[in-house]
Amino acid sequence: MDFTIRAAMPEDCKDISRMIMELATYEKMPDQVEITQRDLEQDGFSKNPFFQCIIAEVPEQHRTKESHAKVGYALYFYTYSSLKGRSVYMEDLYVMPEFRGKGIGKALMSKIAQLGLAAGCNQLNFTVLNWNKPSMDFYLSQGCLDVTSDMRTMRCEGAALESLAEGNPKK
Amino acid sequence: MDFTIRAAMPEDCKDISRMIMELATYEKMPDQVEITQRDLEQDGFSKNPFFQCIIAEVPEQHRTKESHAKVGYALYFYTYSSLKGRSVYMEDLYVMPEFRGKGIGKALMSKIAQLGLAAGCNQLNFTVLNWNKPSMDFYLSQGCLDVTSDMRTMRCEGAALESLAEGNPKK
């Protein structure tokens, strides 16, 4: 099947928002999605964007029955390793179920690798949910490594983040 | 002890590079450091920087015997969660051994929380090496959560990253 991969534009945010919800539903956490189309427009397309996004689009004749032509996306941003330097982080990689197995996911990920290398990055990093064996197998087949074992992933949010900012850490 | 926390400037990169090496030595991987003072200058202080950095500095009379006044740093950058939106990631938090226990690490981390909240972030994320119990205890005491259990951290680098970019994943 023909498809194109291109940089997202502000007018894609409605579809990106739709697909973020589809992905979160697949990941069994649709109730966790707090960001809206408007957040995406502001956060990804302002002067200093928080993320970048690429879109997979199919031609007219392959639109879904709901008339969607934008059938996949990858959301990414640049990060930094104080050991290895410039890195690219893939936050999301998603292809609508009926368009899987056609090389679209592979093409999206390949594009991020290209963009990362062009920007001087040495690493592409991302996470996969523990139970998501099909995705894990896909990534391992692409030469990716599971580097979970040597580190703990930590988070500070909500009231704890506010207390930390005030210099009064939450007990 | 008096100390100040301030944004890093290009002329701090020599000290940041020194402290990155000290941190890597503490983390038992000094041979893994590939970035140089010049990389830091280019990657952190160009038009679209890959990272931001804050520095902890002590007054003249508290300099180390090697005459270092810059005794700690935190390296961070902004990221994005497609569930929660704007986030800040703390790549490194370091204080020279003889200056620990004086609130400098806490002040550096608090500053990142402040900067993150001011930028509209909902989360502060970071990783800790598995064996580094003292750091882990410090972070837990600050209200941070260990969120390792639900995900796998993945990486693609070197020849695998190049193959991926070329669309010919490494077997």
Q: What is the pLDDT of residues B84-122, one digit of tens each?
A: 999 999 999 999 999 999 999 999 999 999 999 999 999
Question: B24 at the A interface (CB within 8 A)?
Answer: yes
| pLDDT tier, B168 (very low <50, low <70, confident <90, very high otherwise) | confident
pLDDT tens column, A63-114: 999 999 999 999 999 999 999 999 999 999 999 999 999 999 999 999 999 9
Q: Which class for A168: exposed (0-12), middle (13-18), buried (19 or more C-beta within 10 A)?
A: exposed
pLDDT tens column, B42-84: 999 998 899 999 999 999 999 999 999 999 999 999 999 999 9
Predicted pLDDT of residue A67 = 92
Predicted pLDDT of residue B149 = 85
| pLDDT tier, B136 (very low <50, low <70, confident <90, very high otherwise) | very high
Determine the Cα–Cα distance for residues A112 and B3; give it in Å rounded to an integer. 42
pLDDT tens column, A123-155: 999 999 999 999 999 999 999 999 998 889 999
Average model confidence (pLDDT) across chain B: 95
pLDDT tens column, A22-65: 999 999 999 999 999 999 999 999 988 999 999 999 999 999 99
CA dihedral B57, B60, B65, B69 (to 10 degrees): 20
- ipTM of this model? 0.94
Q: Do A143 and B156 touch (CB under 8 A)?
A: yes
Determine the Cα–Cα distance for residues A17 and A11; give it in Å rounded to an integer. 11
- Chain A residues in contact with B169 by the CB 8 A cut-off are 106, 141-143
Question: A144 at the B interface (CB within 8 A)?
Answer: yes
Predicted confidence (pLDDT) at residue A169 exceeds the cutoff of 70: no
Domains (range + CATH), chain A: 4-126 (3.40.630.30), 129-171 (no CATH)
Q: Which of these, B143, B76, B91, B111, lies nearest to B3 by C-alpha position?
A: B111
DSSP assignment letter at A6: E
Determine the Cα–Cα distance for residues B35 and A10; give it in Å rounded to an integer. 35
Q: Do B152 and A130 touch (CB under 8 A)?
A: yes
Distances (CA, A) of A97 to A8, A17, A64, B24, B60: 20, 16, 11, 43, 63
Determine the Cα–Cα distance for residues B97 and B80; give it in Å rounded to an integer. 33
Predicted confidence (pLDDT) at residue A170 exceeds the cutoff of 60: no
DSSP assignment letter at A142: T
CB pairs under 8 A between A and B: 262
